[in-house]
A = this chain, B = another copy of it.
């Protein structure tokens, strides 16, 4: 069997995942819903999310058109130098990347904004039906994302037989992720912070009070940031890991007159999706079971199924066991990192208790202790990634060591369908909680939705650690892809500028070191710009909320029939998010271009490395500290350290507010930033090779 067969099989599995997603979707739709108030608010949320997506896609379309034009003119080579057809293919692949990711996001949002209503109503019947509605709603997103990424990659490769085009597709996915994840992250935190500042702090009204003009924007935010954004982020990582592996596999296959290595990539990726389908299908919760356990068990089951399936395939098709080993190492390490990360955010463990206790001395101590534990939390993940990289490299040393690392990344991301399902579950049940409150479904229902929500938070921390680690391995693999691209370009141009060894990027090479230092600074600058963007945007929104409370008669008093202008707030959050995002994205891209055109490919090698290392540190630190503060607040609210209204609670709320943009805007967006820089570098490798100053 050759790569075409495996590519077609992959497409088949992808289609199966769509069919499965369709079944899940209709199941969710069939669940009962009767409450008029909930239906009304649910509709507002759905419309708001659609408003954001449409606006975002419009801006993205313009942005992509410009980028596609630039690609057409310059990549992989300036149009007047190279083969025009290649440029056309690249531009089309790029656009396909944005479109495929966009469709998956649209589907995910669509079902998530139905599932939230269903989960809220189902909570009246107990935890089991509510859990299933939330989980299966999230699973639609998981299936859509992984199905469309596998479909896209397989289709592009089979149609073009050109791995560089895959990088174009991957870059399209990255552009989309930049808008969806970073833009969505700014949106969601703008709305969250503004709603809290005016509602909870100034007026003292409850969190999801419908009088608050920002309340719908806040609920929309959960969906656009955590569902669509996270989906686009993992679509991006997943595509990038496959692209990096396929670039190197194709180079390996060239020597062998076969397509074994490319076949393996498809085979393992398709089996990952299959394992996820099975895992999702069998996910269940007991009548009074723990939702956290149910979610985690599905992950472990999927992992087990994947290992067995790939082992059988490796045996059946006579694949190389060492590469299978790299794959499994990646996956197992990913799960371990997830569990280790959980320690720092779990509300039954020491860090959360410590931060809650420190809060008794005031907010400064909430912050200091949270930052300290956030910093400590990077260690297990860094060790895990280091060990996974070293082990997979050593395993595949005689084949192509960087290919080994890329397969570890593919392995780590293999069960991403399951991961996304778990992750999208979170915002759905979070929304369901808000809807239950707005629909006055009573305390018993709120208790259930609270428990489901809390499970969502815990699982989210685990999946975030997983996602960041996977992105880390992927970009390490992209470094290998970059080297591969440079050598190929050099050969095509008949240049002999670099030996293979000189592209191993020696740290003592001053150009590499130069790039390293600058690359390391970029994630900090990028995060800071996003956080300042949230701050500025929140100021605009607060002004709008103030205006509405002042101008709309009877709103503050909650007069019957008086409604705030929810759409104005959504409008502000949307416009502001896109406006604040673009400069941050451009800084990252321009820095890559500057370093590349000044220092050449060796400086880029250093730049990407610095970017990866510092990006991993800050992504882990910010995500974990944010999750820790969130759970410390919830821990205090559940009655510890004085409970609600105590000194500790006030301090914990400050921690949570700081943590919000940490964990939902800046932290996870760094993933996307490093992938974008890596892909820009790979795509421009020919230009950097021929046109740099040094």
Residues of A within 8 A of B (CB): 197, 201, 358, 361-365, 367-369, 371-376, 378-379, 382-383, 385-387, 389-390, 393-394, 401-402, 405, 476, 479-480, 483, 501, 503-518, 520-521, 524-525, 527-529, 531-532, 534-535, 605-606, 609-610, 613-614, 616-617, 621, 653-654, 657-658, 661
Contact = CB atoms under 8 A, between A and B. Distances in A.
27 contacts: A197-B362, A201-B362, A363-B363, A364-B653, A364-B654, A367-B658, A368-B658, A371-B658, A382-B520, A386-B515, A387-B514, A390-B510, A401-B510, A480-B508, A504-B509, A505-B507, A505-B508, A507-B507, A507-B512, A507-B609, A516-B609, A516-B613, A517-B616, A520-B617, A524-B621, A610-B613, A613-B614
A376 B510 contact: no
B376 A524 contact: yes
B507 A361 contact: no
B521 A507 contact: no
Tallying the copies of this chain within the complex gives 2
A610 B521 CA distance: 13
Given A372-B527, A378-B521, 4 more contacts: A197-B362, A358-B535, A375-B525, A382-B520
Contacts of A503: 508
A476 B509 CA distance: 12
A143 B367 CA distance: 39
Contacts of A516: 386, 609, 613
A373 B507 contact: no
Contacts of A535: 358, 365, 368-369, 372
A372 B531 contact: yes
A517 B197 contact: no
Nearest to A380: B521
A526 to B, nearest CB: 9
A382 B606 CA distance: 14
A343 to B, nearest CB: 14
A643 to B, nearest CB: 20
Residue among A362, A385, A510 with most chain B CB within 10 A:
A510
Contact of A510 (B389, B606, B617): B389
A272 B365 CA distance: 43
A513 B386 contact: yes
A364 B658 contact: yes
Contacts of A605: 507
Contact of A514 (B375, B386, B606): B386
A369 B510 contact: no
B394 A528 contact: no
B373 A528 contact: yes
A476 B372 CA distance: 27
B369 A532 contact: yes
B376 A528 contact: yes
A385 B617 contact: no
A494 to B, nearest CB: 24
A353 to B, nearest CB: 14
Nearest to A505: B507
A545 to B, nearest CB: 13
Nearest to A605: B507
Contacts of A361: 197
A486 to B, nearest CB: 12
Contacts of A371: 528, 531, 658
A528 B653 CA distance: 22
A361 B197 CA distance: 8
B513 A389 contact: yes
A371 B368 CA distance: 12
Interchain residue pairs A-B with the least CB separation, the first 3:
A504-B506, A364-B657, A393-B510
A405 B510 CA distance: 10
A376 B390 CA distance: 33
B508 A368 contact: no
Given A531-B371, A535-B358, A524 B483 contact: no
A599 to B, nearest CB: 8
Contacts of A654: 362-364, 367, 654
